[in-house]
Amino acid sequence: MDQQRTVTFDPAEHPPMERQFMLSQLVVPRPIAMVSTRSPTGVANIAPMSYYLPITGDPMLLGITMGLRETGELKDTYNNAMASGDFVVNVTTEVFRDRIETVAMEAPSDVDEYELAGWTPVPATKVTSPAIGEALARLECEVRKVVDLGTPGRIFSEVHLVIAEVVWVAYDAAISDPDGRIDPLRLGPIGRLGLRTYLRTVDDGAYFLARTPWSEFIDNPKEP
Ligand SMILES: Cc1cc2nc3c(=O)[nH]c(=O)nc-3n(C[C@H](O)[C@H](O)[C@H](O)COP(=O)(O)O)c2cc1C
């Protein structure tokens, strides 16, 4: 980094919104969990969540950070997941591409977001939350632990890190390669960059790097 052009950011001197925006601009690209849930009164809900991470394979855990709505209320996704104890992560791919921001609108809780997006709710296999029929892949999740973080009631501060166990996975055979492995390019995930910018993986952006085990490299060190 050129010293003359270096811009610095001291979190202590910025409000929560600017701190979170800095994370959102620099922790990129992020995968997008298209989270589907259902309310206790039966309203189907969808929200994209990119503060989302895989955690471990045993038990098979993932985590999603759910914050507050602009009004300061808890998000429907969080309320629904706490009430039912489950949710579905539908993997965001080309099929969701043009509707990500549509389902991110903070619509009243009684609005069915499947109708807004033109997607189809389908029953999941192991959990009560519906899944999105158009998804190429989904992870059915049961809530295992919630870590409450930040200052209660403060937007861009209060968040709930929801840790969930994946109890079922389903995907379209079309995303498998001839050896039966999920092919990253056939899946075609969409990522979140900063601001309202999204990243497609279907064009020239994706590339492959071979991995050499250390034991082979040390016997024959060379540039890859
Ligand atoms: C690409 C994208 C990623 C998002 N990631 C998150 C996230 O990780 N956590 C969160 O609380 N909100 C996130 N949001 C905002 C929610 O999707 C938005 O507040 C949504 O309307 C919540 O809806 P709900 O109240 O129906 O759950 C994201 C929005 C977009 C567009």
Instruction: Give a yes or no: residue 224 inside a domain.
Output: no
- Residue 113 Cα: closest atom of ligand 1: 26
* Overall number of domains in the chain: 1
89 has pLDDT over 80? yes
Instruction: Give a yes or no: residue 9 inside a domain.
Output: yes
Residues 6+ apart with CB under 8 A from 210: 224
pLDDT for 28-54, tens place per residue?
999 999 999 999 999 999 999 999 999
Closest-CA residue, ligand 1 atom 15, reads 104
The domain in which residue 105 lies consists of 3-219
Average pLDDT for residues 15-40, to the nearest whole number? Answer: 97
Q: Are 129 and 89 in contact (CB under 8 A)?
A: no
* Residue 65 in contact with ligand 1 by CB distance below 6 A: yes
pLDDT of 217: 86
* Residue type at position 15: P
pLDDT for 186-218, tens place per residue?
999 999 999 889 999 876 788 888 888 888 888
* Residue 76 in contact with ligand 1 by CB distance below 6 A: yes
What CATH number is given to the structural domain containing 184?
A: 2.30.110.10
Instruction: Give a yes or no: residue 67 inside a domain.
Output: yes
Poorest-pLDDT segment among 54-63, 66-75, 92-101, 106-115 = 106-115
The Cα 82–Cα 19 span in angstroms is 27
* Residue 69 in contact with ligand 1 by CB distance below 6 A: yes
pTM, to two decimals: 0.95
Ligand 1 mean position to 167 CA, how many Å? 23
